[in-house]
Every structure is written in C-alpha cells, then in structure tokens.
C-alpha cells in the first residue's frame, strides 16, 4: 500500500450548525414563508428569517393556547373516559356501561366544557389564517 501524503484524504471537521430540520405540513410552511416574504418587503434593515418569525410566534403562545391544542387532540372516546372519571369522583363508583346508559337516557347531561374549548380553538384557527 502506498501511503503517499498527497493521496490521503484530510479529515473534514464537522461544522456544527445552529439549525435543524422540522417537519411541518406543506400548507403551514407555505403560510410561514409567505408571511416572512411579506415582512421582508421593506427598503432598509436585515431580512427576517423564518426561524426568527417562528421563535417570535412561539413566544406569544400562552398556557390557554396549550390547553386548547391539547383538548383538540382528544378523541370522543378520550372525552367520554374523562367525563366518566369525573362523574365517579363526584358521585361514586358506576360502571362504564351504566354511565353510558344514563348519558344516553339524559339522566346525566353532556359536559359543557367541550363546547367552550371547540369555540376557542376555532378562534385560533381563524386568527391563524
């Protein structure tokens, strides 16, 4: 084997970048890029980057927004389990089958919490575009 120094490949030092990829829906990416392009239609100053825009938007998110987003990810089954558990805590042990029977017959009214959360989430969607 020849160990000619000219033929040896030099080790490249890996540069650590401060950036990483983030998977988002195409529509979300399009909206973010369009918003940043709109911000960058100015005569003076540095260009706004998408990462700066997202970081600023994230700083505006409140704990109320967190709760709305968490609630939006619940299935109907999850909500039913949560309401059943709350009913047990307040009224004592009842089987799930009995609970469903009482809910369907109207003895136990449906929770009103869901309706308020959905309205709040809709307002976030409308504000987002």
Q: Which domain holds residue 126?
A: 62-129
The per-residue pLDDT for range 47-56, each reduced to its tens digit, is: 999 999 999 9
120 lies in some domain: yes
Q: Are residues 31 and 89 in the same domain?
A: no
pLDDT score, position 19: 87
> pLDDT tens for residues 59-109?
999 999 999 999 999 999 999 999 999 999 999 999 999 999 999 999 988
| 75: nearest Cα among 114, 116, 25, 28 | 114
pLDDT greater at residue 129 or residue 77: 77
Query: How far lies 29's CA from each of 25, 26, 47, 122, in Å?
Result: 6, 5, 18, 20
Which of 47, 64, 50, 3 shows the shortest CA–CA distance to 22? 50
Overall pTM surpassing 0.85 (yes/no): no
The token pair at 47 is: 């260009």
Residue-level pLDDT at 116: 47
Does the pLDDT value for residue 110 go beyond 80? yes
Same domain? For 113 and 127 the reply is yes
Q: What is the mean pLDDT of the chain?
A: 84
Last residue of a domain, one of 36, 60, 84: 60
Whether residue 110 is found in the same domain as residue 128: yes
User: Percentage of residues in the chain with pLDDT exceeding 70?
Assistant: 75
Last residue of a domain, one of 60, 82, 114: 60
Rounded CA gap, 44 and 64, in Å?
37
Judgement on whether residues 71 and 101 belong to the same structural domain of the protein: yes
Tell me: do 48 and 104 sit in the same domain: no
How many domains would you assign to the chain? 2
35 and 80 both lie in a single domain: no
Asked if residue 93 belongs to a domain, the reply is: yes
Tell whether 47 and 85 lie within a shared domain. Answer: no
CA distance 108 to 121: 26
The candidate with the shortest Cα–Cα distance to 52, out of 18, 82, 88, is 18
């Amino acid at each position: 084997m020849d160990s000619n120094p000219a033929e040896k490949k030099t080790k490249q030092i890996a540069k650590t970048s401060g950036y990483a990829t983030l998977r988002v829906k195409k529509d979300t990416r399009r909206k973010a890029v369009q918003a940043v392009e709109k911000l960058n239609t100015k005569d003076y100053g540095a260009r706004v980057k998408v990462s700066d825009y997202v970081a600023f938007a994230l700083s505006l998110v409140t704990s109320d927004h967190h709760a709305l987003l968490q609630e939006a990810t619940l299935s109907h089954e999850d909500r039913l389990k949560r309401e059943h558990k709350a009913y047990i805590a307040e009224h004592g042990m009842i089987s799930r089958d009995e609970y469903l029977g009482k809910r369907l017959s109207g003895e136990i009214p449906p929770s009103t919490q869901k309706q308020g959360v959905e309205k709040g989430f809709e307002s976030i969607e409308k504000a987002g575009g």
